[in-house]
Chains A and B, each alone.
Chain A
């Protein structure tokens, strides 16, 4: 293995810290460096309106710098204690970035929720790393490998602990609830970087943990697969129901984390069943999806930020018709949309295709339960894709198509500045490159697989590189076919009458903008069918009397996991803590008494010790 490594000696508990860039780190370092650069470029334009206000732009950029450096360090540091420290720096700096607009009450609430969730995550990480370092007697990652080699029960325990810790960061269900709060609260460039990069450090952690385990056991492999499928389905379903554009994107991040997890779990199962093709294809599909999601999700967040900066609303029910006033943003959002649904010929399809191929190859492993689970996984992946299509046709068409649904949307008269468009265009270009030349990009995604699969077997992947060149050829021929038909059709229309007229309203003349299909109505048919999975609260004020004045309808959708799992745990926690409230009564005499008791106990102990 070729790797770059150096070490620094920090006197004290930490000791020798190895900084290693191996294949896995290198992959993440590349993504983090490129996407952060594009994000910072975008932020120059996005932050402009805030410059004259009271927000502290200076400290914002300081924390942004710290975040990027700490993300890079997380992927490079190979010492458990140092890792936890940079991990914590990453969480804290992103907390300060989230609460940029801290004069809003919601933002601060979301930030604090994020901060607390991250510390629960650290708790699990500490537990996992403490077990590892106690067993190996060293904090160095390299020594962990020897510990877990022959003790599969310990390996399972450590993996589950670290998976929960890293899974909270990545946003696996049921640890996802911070995502849909923090992402809408943060400024768009931060949501883009957090969703595109920071949650991927959780995935990095999971992959790193896997590299400690020579062969993952069946239990943990199935565990990861089931959690990932639930995550993907749940994320897609809730994304459909959202009417806040950034919240919708946050749920869609959860869905994509689920798809990445599926790829990794299939890779793990491939290892567990000793089938290298399944392992390589599963891991490389999952890892390629990390790269893909790190490209199209920031693009979508940046476009959402562009819409927000022009209309000052994230509520898609108030938008519409923006494709006329913001054509470039609309086109870029459309590219991101097609990519995230996983449609050919763009990049999202490539990673999902690899995962499908891994699953199909897995069908030939002679195991009946695996066959059923893989076929169900194929169906779930297809369902997730179809739900993503529903979700993003809604997002794109309600925001950009039709007529404006409010004054805010109709008042937009020009597109965003070029400084914001160029970073988005670079991301769109990357999407196209990966989608049309997957056979070259796959080399990048196969590189980290070396950590898990014996490198000699990587050669098998070559035949799949050829398969991807067929896909690449297919992409080009599809585009050519489309261009050919389109040109033919345009030529056919050349000398004929083509005129514009109002949309056909079925002979009804007085059509206005409010008669369009709206965000909620578009998904109502589908969601009404899946109503048991939602907790909805609606407020209705019906129009009354002969001359009705005001009518109102509002619909709120609660997260079912938050409602049934997270909130009960929190309230139980609160009740337990409440019973200790009397300790801190606020009474000075009481506190003096504590001091006295403490002194007496110390006295007794010192005398007793003699």
Chain B
């Protein structure tokens, strides 16, 4: 049986797709057969981030409608042969997703894969609800700003009440916090919420902090998940997250930011 992970946030633009691509790649690199599904029907992006947009033939909706088999629609990643992508349909909308259809696809994938990563669309409508409904674990992607934190809080409410596990009275979905686009310098200046501020509101287990990094944008544009850029801080942060999720104990990094050259020289202000 596969473990189903939903990557969700409520708010858009916080880094759900970047995170989905990175952790799916990370899990596969660690030797686990992983599928990543784009639930953002009509606004397909995951294929771009993973650099497989030119190999899309069939999509998630085709499989749901029985127009293609799962094997026809799954795209094997170029960089890692244990990672498969199920792209969203660009010509349809979220109404094309059905409860039974999604359930059937996930059941079928579960037989063959160890991890299934569901990249949720923004919002709290059908696409997002179906992406989280079958989940075992939830990665709540949050930016250190107040509107993102509130939307994450709302999402946590939905996770605890509208999932299959909640409906069946099973053990609740395990929820993890991923704080993305974190800029330690701006936190110090009081321009950004700190980790403590976010934790005070959400009180969730922190899986990792991904620092704001230029490498994320360049990796996205190149169609290579940022986790493969081992030199970048964001890449290392995602690698830490995957390791922690798989049970390793690693100290949290990137909370205090890097020491600038001048600050190191003169001892800094604090």
Is chain B a partner of chain A in the same complex? no
Residues of B within 8 A of A (CB): none
Question: Which A residues lie at the B interface, using CB under 8 A?
Answer: none
